[in-house]
Amino acid sequence: MQLTDEQFATLAPYEAHFTTALRSSYPRSPGRLALKTIHSILRELEPTTPALNTTCGTCILRVLKKAGTLYFEKKERDAAQDALAVIATKEAAAGKPKPAPKPKPATKPKGKGKK
């Protein structure tokens, strides 16, 4: 069960609500219309998702946590793929990976000498 890019874009404005729900277990309601949108996306992904009661704090929290988990999983996956693409592009542009720099030779400490 993964979000599509379109679903991810639809959920993006509610990222702060997902963060609050996941970190604090507190349902910061984004509003009735937004909750219905979020719930419809969850229903597309998992048809057995229970009905939404927009006046029930526990129900709202459950929906926000579930959607938030899916949202942040996709966000992390996309960030990892982007990072790999950047690394691959840099290596391809350089032709080969750069070798590690050679260590500098040790030098004698500067001092006044023996007294």
pLDDT in tens, 46-76: 999 889 999 999 999 999 999 999 999 999 9
Residue 92 within a domain: no
Range of the domain at 37: 5-71
CA–chain centroid gap for 55, Å, is 29
Whether the CB-CB separation of 2 and 74 falls below 8 Å is answered with yes
Give a yes or no: residue 14 inside a domain. Answer: yes
**Helices 57-94 + 15-24 axis angle, to 10:** 110
Lowest mean pLDDT among 43-52, 59-68, 82-91, 102-111: 102-111
Q: 76 lies in a domain? A: no
CB 50 within 8 A of CB 43: no
pTM value is: 0.71
The answer as to whether 66 is a domain residue is yes
| Residue 18 pLDDT greater than 60, yes or no | yes
How many domains in the chain?
A: 1
Domain presence at residue 19: yes
3-state SS, residue 31: coil
Q: Strand (E) positions, the chain?
A: none
Residue 38 lies in a domain: yes
Which two structure tokens, joined as six digits, stand for 10?
A: 């639809």
